[in-house]
Amino acid sequence: MIKREDISISVIKRLPRYYRFLGELIKKDIDRISSRELSSKMGLTASLIRQDLNCFGGFGQQGYGYNVKLLHEEIGQILGLDSSFRAIIIGAGNLGRVIATHMDFEKRGFQLIGIFDKKESMAGQLVRGMPVRHIDGLDEFCRENLPQVAILCIPAEAAFEITDALVRLGIQGFWNFTHSDLALRYPGLPVENVHLGDSLMTFCYRMKEKLEHPVSDR
Amino acid sequence: MIKREDISISVIKRLPRYYRFLGELIKKDIDRISSRELSSKMGLTASLIRQDLNCFGGFGQQGYGYNVKLLHEEIGQILGLDSSFRAIIIGAGNLGRVIATHMDFEKRGFQLIGIFDKKESMAGQLVRGMPVRHIDGLDEFCRENLPQVAILCIPAEAAFEITDALVRLGIQGFWNFTHSDLALRYPGLPVENVHLGDSLMTFCYRMKEKLEHPVSDR
C-alpha cells in the first residue's frame, strides 16, 4: 500500500475520475487497458496517465497495460472508499432528498444514518427508507449515534447557527451545498463545497466566450 | 470594458466567488471594502485579491478600497451574466426538479424555456410553473424555440443518444450532471460538469487524511 506522502494533490484530484472510468470498464468486463486507450477515453495525455498511475506502482506492464480491477481497488483504497463515515443530512427539502436518494454513499466511503429538518410537517416522512427527524432531536441523536460528517442542504442564512451546534456535537467535516464559507469558520475541518451557482456562472462565461469567439476556441 | 485577453483562466475561475461575496456585501449595504477585509472574508491573500481585481482597472483606490457595486457589476459583465441564453432541462426527476426550482437562472445569464422527460406520466406536471414536456416533442420545440444550452439531469446510460440529438438540433453547450464525458464527444462545445460523486469521493479522501493525520493537517 502506497503512502500518501508519495502522491501530490493534483494527482489526488484526478483519482475520483480514474476510479469512475475504471468502474465503467469493469462493468463492461474489460480486464486490462493501455495508457493510450485510457487517454483517448478520458481526454488526458497518455504520459500524464502513466505518470499518475506509476505513483501506485506495479500495475502497468509494457505490452500488457493496466490490470483494471487491481487499479480500481488500489485507487479506491487511497481515496478511503472502504471507510464508513457516519453521515447526517441537514435539510430534507428537494435538495436534501435528491442527495439522500441519488448518492451511492456506501460505495463512496459513507453511511447515511439520519436526515433532519426544522419543519415539523416533514418529521416522520420517509426519505431513503429513513424517517426525517425534527432538528430539535439533533443533540440527543448525535450523543447516541456519533455522526462524523454533516451534509448541508439548507439556506445559507441558516447555516452558521446549525454548523456551530454541529461542531460542538462532534461533527468533523462538512459536505457543503450552502454558500456559507465554512472552511474559513472551521479551519481545522475538511469542508468540500458544491457551489452550483458558481458552476452555472462559469458555464455562462464559457458560453459567452464561445459565441463571441467561435473560431479561436477549440 | 476590459478585454478577455487580459484576464487569465485562473482569475476567471475565481470570479464567480468574488461575484457572490460582493453580492452579499451589497445586501448588507456595504459600499466599499479594502482588499484586506475581502481577504479575511474570502480566505485569499490580500495581494492575490489586489492582483486579480487590478485586471479590471480603476476600482480600487488607496485608502478608499473597492467600490463594491461597481466591482460587482463589472465582474458580472465579464462573466456575461447579462446574457439570456435559452436553456432546457432534460430529465424531470428529482434532480431536474431541484435544478429547475433552486437555480436563479435569470441572474446567472440564462432563461429556462423548457423541461423534458421521457416518462409519459410526467408530461403536463408543473415544474417552476412550466409544464413538463414529453421528449417526443423535443424536435418541434427546438425548431420553434431555438434553445442554446441543455441541462442534463438524466442517467449516464441514456446520455449520448439524447445529446447527439440535441447537438443536431442546435444545442451549443451542456451543463452536465451525468457522468458521461461530453467534452470528449463534442470537442467544440462548452461543457460544464457537476460530478457530485467525485466531490463525495474527494471529501472521503480528505476525511480519511484528517482522521489519520489529525495534527499535520490544518
pLDDT at A120 over 70: yes
* Angstroms from A189 CA to nearest CA on chain B: 8
Could B109 and A204 be called an inter-chain contact, meaning their C-beta atoms sit closer than 8 Å?
Answer: yes
If residue A85 lies in a helix (H) or strand (E), which one and from where to where?
strand A85-90
For residues B97 and B151, is the Cβ–Cβ distance under 8 A? no
Chain B contacts of A15, Cβ < 8 Å?
201, 205
Whether A216 has a pLDDT exceeding 50, the answer reads: no
Rounded to an integer, the average pLDDT of A149-156 is 92
CA distance A137 to chain B (A): 25
Q: Give the cell for residue B213.
A: 493525520
Domain ranges of chain B: 4-79, 85-198
Predicted confidence at residue A1, as pLDDT, reads 47
Confidence of residue B212 (pLDDT cuts 50, 70, 90): confident
Do B199 and A17 lie within an 8 Å CB cutoff?
Answer: no
pLDDT at B2 over 80: no
* Mean pLDDT of all residues in A140-158: 93
Interface confidence, given as ipTM, is 0.91
Please say whether the beta carbons of B114 and B89 come within 8 A.
yes
Of residues B98, B149, B173, nearest to A94 (C-beta) = B98
Average confidence (pLDDT) over A194-206: 94
A54 or A145: which leads in pLDDT = A145
Closest CA to B148 of B102, B183, B112: B112
pLDDT at A191: 94
**Residue B163 pLDDT:** 96
Q: Which residues does chain B have within 8 Å of residue A2's beta carbon, measured at their own beta carbons?
A: none
Long-range contacts of B129-138 (CB under 8 A, 24+ apart): B130/B100, B132/B92, B135/B90, B135/B162, B138/B165, B138/B166, B138/B169
CA distance B17 to B15: 5
Question: What pLDDT, on the 0 to 100 scale, is given for residue B27?
Answer: 92
Percent of chain B with pLDDT strictly greater than 90 = 67
C-beta of residue B171 within 8 angstroms of C-beta of residue B148: yes
C-alpha cell of residue B86: 435559452
Can you tell me which residue has the cell 457543503? A176
pTM: 0.88
Distance from CA of A6 to the nearest CA of B (A): 14
Under a CB-based contact definition with an 8 Å cutoff, are residues A109 and B201 in contact? yes
Span of A105-109, A184-188, B39-43 with lowest mean pLDDT? B39-43
A interface test, pick of B176, B180, B205 with most A CB neighbours within 10 Å: B205
* A71-86 average pLDDT score: 94
* Residues of chain B contacting A196 with CB distance shorter than 8 Å: 99, 102-103, 194
Cβ distance of A173 and B206 shorter than 8 Å = yes
Contacts of B12 (CB under 8 A, 6+ apart): A202, A205, B78
CB contact under 8 A, B42 and A181: yes
Question: Measured between alpha carbons, how far is A184 from B50 in angstroms, rounded to an integer?
Answer: 20
d(CA B87, CA B77): 19
What's the pLDDT score for residue B12? 85
Of B127 and B63, the structure prediction assigns the larger pLDDT to B127
pLDDT classification of B8: cutoffs 50, 70, 90? confident
Provide the pLDDT for residue B62: 67
For residue B173, the distance in angstroms to the closest alpha carbon of chain A comes to 7
Residue B218's pLDDT band, with cuts at 50, 70 and 90, is very low
Distance from CA of A169 to the nearest CA of B (A): 17
Q: Is domain B4-79 classified as CATH 3.30.390.30?
A: no
HEC readout, chain B: CCCHHHCCHHHHHHHHHHHHHHHHHHHCCCCEECHHHHHHHHCCCHHHHHHHHHCCCCCEECCCEEEHHHHHHHHHHHHCCCCCEEEEEECCCHHHHHHHHHCCHHHHCEEEEEEEECCHHHCCCEECCEECEEHHHHHHHHHHHCCCEEEECCCHHHHHHHHHHHHHCCCCEEEECCCCCHHHHCCCCCEEECCHHHHHHHHHHHHHHHHHCCCCCC
Averaged pLDDT score across all residues of chain A: 89
- Which residues from B are below 8 Å from A204, CB to CB? 79-81, 83, 85, 108-110
> What is the CATH code for A85-198?
3.40.50.720
- Average pLDDT of B206-210? 92
How long is chain A?
A: 218
Average pLDDT, stretch A165-174? 97
pLDDT, residue B186, reads 94
The grid coordinates listed for B189 are 462545445
- Cβ atoms of B125 and B100 within 8 Å: the answer is no
The C-alpha angle A199, A205, B99, rounded to 5 degrees, equals 35
CB distance A217–B103 less than 8 Å? no
Residues of B in contact with A16 (CB under 8 A): 195, 197-199, 201-202
Q: Name the residue among A196, A206, A207 with its Cβ closest to that of B194.
A: A196
- Find the CB nearest A173 among B13, B80, B207: B207
Instruction: Select, from the ranges A48-62, A98-112, B6-20, B179-193, the one with the highest average predicted confidence (pLDDT).
Output: A98-112
Cell of A132: 426525517
Residues in chain B with CB shorter than 8 Å from the CB of A149 are: 203, 207
CB contact under 8 A, A190 and B203: yes
- Percent of chain B residues topping a pLDDT of 70: 92
Average pLDDT over residues B166-173: 97
The pLDDT value given to residue A62: 67
Beta carbons of A201 and B19 less than 8 Å apart: yes
Lowest mean pLDDT among A102-106, B42-46, B60-64: B60-64
Would you call A200 and B110 a contact, using CB atoms and an 8 Å cutoff?
A: yes
With a CB cutoff of 8 Å and minimum separation 6, the contacts of B137 are B116
Type of residue numbered A95? L
- Model confidence at A217, pLDDT cuts 50, 70, 90, reads very low
Of A4, A103, A203, the CB nearest to B200: A103
- Angstrom distance (rounded) from CA B157 to CA B159: 6
